[in-house]
């Protein structure tokens, strides 16, 4: 699976949009981009995933660049409860290796 690069930490003001970048320059055509978050030692929580097109759900939006080498997770109106470590993960669509490979993630702190 392709390696991802994320900033170590970011701050965001409450009520503002949080934009979390992820670089995955070695991504291949058969790999999805997944985002998970982990709030203070709780189980990782699935947020969103995408292949080529931008995606939106009730939690967030995922913007993937046209060359697919980077993506941005957008939390439109961050709240204090969004403070967490956010993981960007790339995983192949098919094949026997279905596990997720977690990096260090981005510690997002939402400030009041």
Partner 1 sequence: DSGVTQTPKHLITATGQRVTLRCSPRSGDLSVYWYQQSLDQGLQFLIQYYNGEERAKGNILERFSAQQFPDLHSELNLSSLELGDSALYFCASSVVGTREETQYFGPGTRLLVL
Task: Measure the CA–CA gap between 83 and 96, rounded to whole angstroms.
Answer: 34
Length of the chain measured in residues: 112
Complex with partner 1: residue 34 or 64, whichever CB lies closer: 34
Interface residues with partner 1 (CB under 8 A) are 32, 34, 36, 38, 41-46, 49, 87, 93-94, 96-104
109: its two tokens: 């702190």
Give the residue with the Cβ less far from partner 1, 12 or 105.
Answer: 105
Is residue 60 within 8 A of residue 35, CB to CB? The reply is: yes
- Nearer CB in complex with partner 1: 10/32: 32
Q: Looking up tokens 């969004």, which residue turns up?
A: 82
Minimum distance, C-beta of residue 19 to partner 1, in the bound complex (Å): 23
Q: How far is the CB of 15 from partner 1 (least distance, A)?
A: 26
Smallest separation (angstroms) from partner 1 to the CB of 109: 19
- The three-class DSSP label of residue 57 is coil
């Amino acid at each position: 699976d392709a390696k991802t690069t994320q900033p170590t930490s970011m701050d965001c003001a409450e009520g503002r949009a949080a934009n979390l970048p992820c670089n995955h320059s070695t991504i291949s055509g058969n790999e999805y981009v997944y985002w998970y978050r982990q709030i203070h030692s709780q189980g990782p929580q699935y947020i969103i995933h995408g292949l080529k097109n931008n995606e939106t759900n009730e939690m967030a939006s995922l913007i993937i660049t046209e060359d697919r080498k980077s993506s941005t997770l957008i939390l439109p109106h961050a709240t204090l409860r969004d403070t967490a470590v956010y993981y960007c993960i790339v995983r192949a669509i098919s094949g026997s290796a279905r596990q997720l490979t977690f990096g260090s993630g981005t510690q997002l702190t939402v400030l009041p």
